[in-house]
Amino acid sequence: MNDITMLWTAAYIAMLAAFTGYVVISRVPVILHTPLMSGSNFIHGIVLVGAMIALGLATTPLEQAIGFVAVILGAANVTGGYVVTERILQMFDRSGRKQKDGGQR
């Protein structure tokens, strides 16, 4: 298989995955988004590890750049997921404690 064919195959798979993800997420009821996002942080962590491995195995500058961007975006995704999950869990906290930043509910 030549490089152009592999590039088109990879682009097709990425577009198909993006479309499938959009369709699946758009059909999830609003009440289930938070538990699903909390559970998907585990999967995002695995994606981050895969991006780090891919970056470590990269040989050309283009592969290294793509791997670097993948690690940065994966880390941001995992961090954002945990921040949002923590905020959602604070909404259901019944103990009446103050938030970490000293604010009141």
Could you tell me if residue 96 is inside a domain?
A: no
DSSP 30: G
Could you tell me if residue 100 is inside a domain?
A: no
DSSP 28: S
Neighbours of 58 (CB within 10 A): 16
Q: How far is residue 84's CA from residue 74's CA, in Å, rounded to a whole number?
A: 15
Handedness of CA 76, 81, 86, 91 (dihedral sign): positive
pLDDT digits (tens), the chain, 105 positions: 788 888 899 899 999 999 998 888 788 777 776 677 767 777 888 888 989 998 999 999 999 999 999 999 989 988 888 887 787 777 777 776 655 555 554
Could you tell me if residue 83 is inside a domain?
A: yes
Structural domain for 73, as ranges = 3-91
Domain count, the chain: 1
Instruction: Kindly report the pTM of this predicted structure.
Output: 0.57
